[in-house]
Amino acid sequence: MRDLITSRNMPWSALKVAATLLCLVFWGIACNADQQSGGEAMPATQTIQLPEPSLSGPVSLEEALTRRRSVRGFSDHPVTLTEIGQLLWAAQGVTEHGRGLRTAPSAGATYPLEIIVIVGRAEGLAPGAYRYAPGRHDLIPVLQDDQRQSLARAALNQSALLQAPVTFAVTAVHARTEARYGRRATRYVDMEAGHAAQNLSLQAVAQGLGSVVIGAFNDRDVSALLDLPPGESPLYLIPVGKPR
């Protein structure tokens, strides 16, 4: 291209064409760089460290218990990354790092539960689905893009799942508890899911948020949507957000 432009025998019109082509090439490179560095946040592809959870708050346990109600209508107000982290910690956070003990009791400390948060509107977090890692208190990206509409379809088109900015899916790997307790593990896992869901619901109240626990959904469809591995099954869907 350089030889083409500097040739003394080239007509002036050809020089203008060559110069225009060069400008377009460099302009395209610059635009591509701008798109990568600016504009909307790119979907998360790496582990996201959550803010440290708060260990005290302005709402007493008794007040949270009194105010807890099922909320099925949510505003457009997004939740924050700090709120998401606090809710996850309440459900399954580690409170004793020596033995890995968590906020919710677990039969034999086998901890069969997993939490996946489906994000639609959140400050500091791109839409998608993220798996919670309790030991590190961070999020591992699972899916990109807003999955709320697909999740609602898998749960009998319940409007709460469409409106809520985030939904927490509680899943279980029963084999972790079955290895110790055999067939009775099913009962223990169900109990533990209830403990975790109540913790999350009370924490939502303490943060000025609302929630509702949902058990009516197609297990196969939810499992496929969240790309759950074999042996992991969904137990609960818990939409959370500002009450409408």
Burial of 66 (0-12, 13-18, 19+ CB in 10 A): exposed
Phi, psi for residue 37 in degrees, rounded to 5 = -100, -15
Strand partners, 172: 113, 233
Q: What is the mean pLDDT of each run of 10 residues along the chain (244 residues)?
A: 41 43 36 34 74 95 97 96 98 95 98 98 96 97 97 98 98 98 97 98 98 98 98 98 96
198/147 Cα distance (integer angstroms): 24
- The DSSP call for residue 135 is T
Q: What is the pLDDT of residue 15?
A: 38
State the DSSP string of 96-107: ETTTTEESS--G
- CATH 3.40.109.10 matches 48-241: yes
Task: Indicate the domain borders of the chain.
Answer: 2-37, 48-241
Q: Rounded to two decimals, what is the model's pTM?
A: 0.81
Q: Which two tokens stand for residue 3?
A: 């030889």
pLDDT at 25: 34
